[in-house]
Amino acid sequence: MVNSTSSKANVLMMKKLLIFTLIMFVFGFALVPFYEKFCELTGVNNLLKPDVLTKENRVDESRWVTVEFDANTRGLPWQFRPLQSNAKIHPGKPVDVMYEITNNSDREISGQAIPSYSPRNLEKYLKKFECFCFTKQVLKPNETRQMPVQFVIEPDLPVDIHTVTISYTFFELPGSSSAVKNDR
Amino acid sequence: MAAVHGDAHSHGHDDHHPSGIMRWITTTNHKDIGTMYLWFSFAMFLVGGTLAMGIRAELFQPGIQILEPELFNQFTTLHGLIMVFGAIMPAFVGFANWQVPLMIGAPDMAFARMNNWSFWLLPVAATLLVSSFFVPGGAAAGGWTFYPPLSTQGGLGVDLMIFAVHILGASSIMGSINIITTILNMRAPGMTLMKMPMFVWTWLITAYLLVLVMPVLAGTVTMLLTDRHFGTSFFNAAGGGDPVMFQHIFWFFGHPEVYIMILPSFGIVSEVIPTFSRKPLFGYSSMVYATASIAILSCVVWAHHMFTAGMPTVGQLFFMYATMLIAVPTGVKVFNWTATMWRGSMTFETPMLFAIGFIFLFVIGGFSGVICAIVPIDIQVQDTYYVIAHFHYVLVSGSLFALFAGAYYWIPKWTGRMYNETLGKWHFWLSMFFFNLTFFVQHFLGLAGMPRRIPDYNLQFADFNMVSSIGAFGFGLTQLLFLYVMINCIRSGEKAPQKPWDGATTLEWTHLPTPAPYHSFEKPPVVN
C-alpha cells in the first residue's frame, strides 16, 4: 500500500504536471500571435514588398547626385523617351520623372519594360514607389502614353558616386500573354 | 461500486474485486489496465489494417475499381489517425502499464483511478472515429494531418474527428502524468535513476514529450473547431488567418509525436537485445543521453515537414541541419545495440528476431529519413510514395516490430505460459518478407513520382503497385497468425518457468514468480 507521505508527493507531482499541461495548452494559442509577430519582424510573409517612404527618411543636403534617365526599345516600333534627360538631386529627396511612349505603327502592340541601373549596386540604394516596369503596356496604333516614375535614392549611397543612370528597355510581349504583375 | 465481491474465480487472491465485465470496467490494477490497453490497441490495429487493405486493394490496379476517390481519401485519413492514435500509442501505454511498476518495483501506478479513466476514454474516442464513416458526408478525408482549408470545410465527420483527438489527447496526458509520477516517486529503494531499466528511461522521456506537445495539439484542434463553428479565423486566410500557421503548430506537436512513437520501442529493444545476447546493455548512460538528445532535438525540427510550404532559405537550412543532427544520437543507439550483440552468447528466439529485424529495418527507415531531410531532395519527394515508404519503415518495422518483440518477450511473465516458438518464428519471417515486399518497392514508386493519397495512378506505376498490394495482403494475413499465437499461448501454452530467458536481469524476472501475481511488490524489493 502507498503510504500517506508518498501519496502526498504524488499528488504534488500531479498538480505540477497539470499546471505544466495547462501552460502548454495556452502556449499552443500563444503560438498564433508569436507566429504573426515573427513573420512581421522577419518579413517572411510579405510576398509583396512595395517600397515606402519612411517618416524618418532624411535628406543629405550636403551633396548633389546627378541622375541620368535613359530609355531604349528593343525590337518594337515604339518611340520611348524620358521628358527630362537628367535631374540633379540631394540623396534622400523623392524624385518624380515622366516617361513617354508612342506607338508609331498601325497595329496594337503590347510591351513591357525592364530596368537596369548604373552603377550596378545602385539597386541597393534605390527605392521606387511607382514604376511602369514589369507591367504590361498595351498601345493602340499611334497612341501616346505618359508614365510616371517616383523614387528616392537613399543617403547611404557611397560618397564617391556622383552620377547614376536609370535605364529602361521596352520589349515586345508575344501576343496578348499576360506579363508578371508587379509594382516595380 | 455495487458489484459482486471477490469469489473463487477472481485470480485466487485474498483481495476482493468485482468479477465479470465489472472487473474490467472498474479495475484500477495496472496489469488489468495494461491488458485492456493492449487488446484495445490490437483491435484498433485490425481496424486500421482493414482500411490499409482497402487502400491497397484499390491501388492493386490503375483505375478506380473498389473505392470512390472520396471514400479512398477517408480510408487513408482514418488509417493514419487510427494507427497513430489508436494502435501504436495505446500499445506503448499498455506496455508501460504492465512493465513500469514491475521493472521499478512499485506496487501499482501512482494514480490508479485516473489510470482506469485514461483507458476508458479510448473506446469512446475510437467509437467517434469509426462511426464518422457513417455520418452524412463520411469521415474526415483531408489526410491524418487534417490541414486546413480541407479540415475547416469538411462535414460532420471532421467534427467527430476533432472530438476524438481531444479525448485521445486527454487520455494520453493523464497516462503520461501517471507514468512520470510513478517513475519519479515510486521506485524501489536503491533504484536510482541511472539504474533504471532502459525501457523505463525511454518511457519517462516519452511521457515528458507527451505532456509537452499533446496540449498543443488540443489547442490546435480547438482552434480548428472554433474556425469551423464559432466564426474565428485562425487558419482562414479570408478572415486574416494563415493556413500555413496551422502546419507550423500541428508539426510542433507532430514531430515530437513521431519520437513519442519510437522512443518506447527503443526501450523495448534495449531490454530484448541484452537478454538474448546474455550481456549487459553496451553504453547504458550514453543510451540515456542519446534518448534525451533525440527528445530535445525532436522539438526543433518540425518545419522539415513543410519545406515546400514556403520558407526562407535560412529556415530551410536550419531545419535541414537540425534534422540531420538527430541521426547522431540515433546512430549512437544503433551502435550500442550492435556492440551489445558483439561476442554475446546470442540465441534467436522470436523476441530477439523481431528486435534484430527492428534494428535492420529501422536503420533503412532512418537513412531514408536523412535523405528526406535534404531540402532539394525533399522538394522532389514531398508527398510521394518515397515518404510513405520512409515512415512505414520507421513506424511498422520500427514501432510495430518492437511491440511484437515486447509482446513475445513479456507474454510468459504476463500469462505464465509460453507461446509456440515455431509459430512465433513463422510470424516474424512472414512479417519480414511481406513488409519489405509491401514497402521497399514504394521507394521506387516515390522516386518515379507517384503521389500519395491518390486512388488512381499512371500505368508506369502498375507493376510495383501490384507487388506492393500483394505484400500488404500477406502482411495483413500474417498478423492474424500473431493473434492466433497469442490466444493459443494464453489458453494452452506450456507453463513458463519464473525466468524463461537466461539473460534477463530486470526485477520482473528476478524478483517475481511467473505469472506475475495480481498484486506485486506490495513490499518494495531492495535494489543494490
> Which DSSP string corresponds to B220-255?
HHHHHHHHHHS---SS-GGGT--HHHHHHHHHHHHH
Q: Tell me the three state secondary structure of residue A117.
A: strand
Residue B238 pLDDT level (bands cut at 50, 70, 90):
confident
- For this complex, say whether ipTM is above 0.90: no
Least Cα distance to A138 among A169, A103, A97 occurs for: A103
Average pLDDT (B462-478) is: 97
The CA distance from A95 to A152, in Å, is 6
B219 vs A29, A44, A45: nearest CB: A29
Residue A181 pLDDT level (bands cut at 50, 70, 90):
very low
Does A32 contact chain B (CB < 8 Å)? yes
Does B208 contact chain A (CB < 8 Å)? no
A33, three cell numbers? 500571435
Cβ–Cβ gap A13/B180 under 8 Å:
yes
Q: Are B484 and B423 in contact (CB under 8 A)?
A: yes
Q: Is the pLDDT of residue B319 over 70?
A: yes
Cβ–Cβ gap B223/A6 under 8 Å:
no
CATH number of the domain located at residue range(s) A51-172 in this protein = 2.60.370.10
Strands (E) located in A56-183: 65-74, 78-82, 86-89, 95-103, 109-118, 126-130, 137-139, 144-153, 163-172
Mean of pLDDT over chain B:
93
pLDDT value at position B17?
Answer: 67
Pairing of strands A144-153, A95-103: antiparallel
Cβ–Cβ gap A24/B212 under 8 Å:
yes
Does A14 contact chain B (CB < 8 Å)? yes
pLDDT digit string, tens, across residues B239-267: 888 899 999 999 999 999 999 999 999 99
Cβ–Cβ gap B177/A25 under 8 Å:
no
Q: What are the chain A neighbours of B248 within 8 Å (beta carbons)?
A: 31, 35
Q: Tell me the three state secondary structure of residue B35.
A: helix
pLDDT value at position B1?
Answer: 36
Cα B451 to chain centroid, rounded: 25
pLDDT digit string, tens, across residues B136-168: 999 999 999 999 999 998 899 999 999 999 999
**To the nearest whole percent, how much of chain B has pLDDT over 90?**
89
B477, three cell numbers? 494475413
For cell 505484400, name the residue: B471
**Which residues does B498 contact at the CB level (< 8 Å), separation at least 6?**
B509, B512, B513, B514
Instruction: Report the catalytic residues of B.
Output: 79, 108, 144, 171-172, 255, 257, 259, 270, 304-305, 330, 333, 452
pLDDT value at position A4?
Answer: 62
Sorted by where each begins, the domain ranges of chain A are 1-45, 51-172
Q: Is the pLDDT of residue B6 over 80?
A: no
pLDDT value at position B322?
Answer: 96
Does B242 contact chain A (CB < 8 Å)? yes
Average pLDDT (A115-124) is: 86
Q: Is the pLDDT of residue A11 over 70?
A: yes
Q: What are the chain B neighbours of A23 within 8 Å (beta carbons)?
A: 215
**Which residues does B179 contact at the CB level (< 8 Å), separation at least 6?**
B93, B96, B100, B109, B203, B204, B207
pLDDT digit string, tens, across residues B195-222: 999 999 999 999 999 999 999 999 999 9
Q: What are the chain A neighbours of B218 within 8 Å (beta carbons)?
A: 25, 28
Q: Tell me the three state secondary structure of residue A137.
A: strand
pLDDT value at position B16?
Answer: 60
Does B14 contact chain A (CB < 8 Å)? no
Does A30 contact chain B (CB < 8 Å)? no
For cell 490499409, name the residue: B52
Partners of A109 in beta bridges: A139
Least Cα distance to B207 among A6, A17, A12 occurs for: A17
Q: Is the pLDDT of residue B321 over 80?
A: yes
